[in-house]
């Protein structure tokens, strides 16, 4: 099983808003009785590629785009395609358009409410939920 976490850079610090994260860290869940997440790779988020500055949107950021904003919805679709092979996307925050694009590809969203910032440690905290 593969799990994606939106991150801000190669430090693998989780981004506050999945839709504006410049990258996704992709991990695979391995093992039997003693399971562990293994980092596989970083993937660029094509939706964030055009953003001039990759500041980390906080959890209060809202998406004002609706179903009539075709280009914006295409960007969300491209974002989901980038992690199409993942079963889960772990987020602190995701807008309705991110949720819909993930759902369309069968990617489940798992919300993280803790205080940890490092992707690998967050996955370890959530291990029992996978």
pLDDT digits (tens, 9 = 90+) for 39-83: 999 999 998 876 654 445 444 445 555 555 577 678 888 999 999
pTM of the predicted structure, to 2 decimals: 0.85
- Arch. (CATH architecture) of 2-129: 2-Layer Sandwich (3.30)
Chain position carrying tokens 């596989």: 40
> Per mean pLDDT, which of 7-16, 70-79, 89-98 is the most reliable?
7-16
Picking from 88, 61, 66, the residue whose alpha carbon sits closest to that of residue 76 is 66
């Amino acid at each position: 099983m593969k799990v994606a976490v939106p991150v801000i850079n190669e430090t693998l610090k989780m981004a506050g808003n999945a839709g504006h994260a410049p990258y996704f860290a992709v991990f695979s869940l391995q093992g039997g009785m003693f399971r562990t997440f293994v980092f596989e790779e970083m993937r660029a988020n094509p939706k964030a590629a055009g953003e001039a500055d990759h500041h980390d949107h906080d959890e209060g950021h809202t998406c004002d785009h609706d179903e009539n904003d075709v280009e914006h919805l295409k960007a969300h679709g491209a974002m989901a395609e980038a992690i199409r092979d993942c079963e889960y996307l772990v987020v602190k925050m995701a807008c309705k358009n991110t949720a819909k694009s993930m759902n369309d590809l069968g990617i489940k969203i798992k919300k993280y409410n803790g205080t940890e910032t490092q992707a690998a440690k967050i996955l370890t905290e959530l291990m029992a939920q996978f």
